[in-house]
A and B are shown apart, each in its own frame.
Chain A
């Protein structure tokens, strides 16, 4: 059978299983989605207060509302939990039977991602549609060209975050603190990825540091594209270039970590 058919069948089966398991944990998924909603909601609440009737750093209340709804959606579409999942697989011996199968474990992780992203993003889209029906501030214009760009940026961001999370999880081959490293990353990304505020509101020095790293491409760039605050022309191209470059870097990091990690696993067992 052709390779395409084989891989479609494999991903189909894995996504289906992940989806069915998620169905069992409906309530748990709702709770996690809630988390993804409360953090931006609280930030929005504070900025709403601060903005008052004017604007802060070029953002008025409506801009903030659009921004943080954008954060909710893009985060749901791009967040990756593989760091914790891999850490558990490695520590609890669940990696062994996966390594004995003729399928690289990264595929199962990818399929899992597709399943839960679809579910949580779906929920947030519904929430957003409901909100947009009563709150004009959060409505977005429907230009097909822009939506295509948004989709591209989101996919690139999701891919990069996946490889960041997976690679960090692979650190569990060497340390028991892999999840702590991921939490450190999450803490830093609160600022540099734009979770707590649009990047324009950061002190210039911090914003510069962010631009040099991969954080803006995780979240802020796709969100700005989504809400229409995005740069155009050359700046837009730079944004996509940044996404591609960092994606390539993190894929390389993942391959290195996998190769070395497997070697170490074969030395010390698990």
Chain B
């Protein structure tokens, strides 16, 4: 078992800091884009709320959830899509096209952990406002529910949210690594976007077949339902333990998948 390499760790942190600085400098130039993207996010949150309102015009509960409970979940969904747009899509989301074009070789030549570099080198930092908006929406919905979460619940929520990010990351890695085996696959992120729409609603709202898909096949149900449930108190804070285990497993799987894929990649091009 390798000793923890402190120097390597320090270097990685330094690299992350440098990447963040570079991206902030770049993004400050695109203020107009920021405003446009903010308006866009507000528009889509608005449409989502209207859709919910439409559903709730014909029912009082969706999968056992109240309107404002679903809005909490919607806030979590937006926070997660914010992370996806800010970190995943510009980073690991480019992997498929880089494998195809051979640009991945440049990344592999760097003396930094390739998975770290690929995942974090391009950040769309302005999209973190989506995260803030999402969390603000959840907070507002909690207020409307007259429910104030306890410290423990908030902590459980944050753990569950972090785990959700790792699960989504793992799904992206799995999806993108298809490119190592099927080079002609384009637009893989479209697949994710299409299916991830299912995470907008509590998993209990779906009939059996869809529920099976979203819980076991493409486990996106865990990413929004669990954190939202922890925040609203539907599930006790002990769920954080389960979530942490799931998140750690997900991350471990990404390392495994990455190494396997790289072995194939470098082997094939040698």
Contacts and interface: CB of A to CB of B under 8 A. Distances in A.
A34 B191 contact: yes
Nearest to B209: A45
Contacts of A48: 207
Interface string B11-55: 000000000000000000000000010001001100100110011
B58 A201 contact: yes
B184 interface: yes
A177 B210 contact: no
A41 B210 contact: yes
Interface in A32-61: 32, 34-35, 37-39, 41-42, 45-50, 56-57
Interface string B184-213: 111110110111011011000111001000
A49 B194 contact: no
Contacts of A27: 182, 184-187
B190 A50 contact: no
A49 B211 CA distance: 11
B54 A177 contact: no
Interface string A166-177: 000000000001
A28 B97 CA distance: 13
A180 interface: yes
A127 B264 CA distance: 35
Given A57-B58, A191-B54, A31 B188 contact: yes
Contacts of A42: 197-198, 200-201, 210
Contacts of A262: none
Nearest to A191: B50
B54 A38 contact: no
Given A31-B187, A187-B43, A190-B47, A45 B205 contact: yes
B187 A32 contact: yes
A109 interface: no
B57 interface: yes
A75 to B, nearest CB: 13
A39 B197 contact: yes
Nearest to B44: A187
A38 B195 contact: yes
Residue among A27, A37, A47, A56 with most chain B CB within 10 A: A27
A183 B47 contact: no
Contacts of A251: none
Contact of B55 (A31, A35, A46): A46
13 contacts: A25-B186, A27-B184, A31-B188, A42-B197, A45-B207, A45-B210, A47-B55, A50-B55, A57-B58, A177-B36, A187-B43, A197-B54, A202-B54
Interface of A: 24-25, 27-28, 31-32, 34-35, 37-39, 41-42, 45-50, 56-57, 177, 180, 183-184, 187, 190-191, 196-197, 201-203
Given A39-B194, A56-B58, 4 more contacts: A31-B188, A35-B194, A45-B198, A45-B210
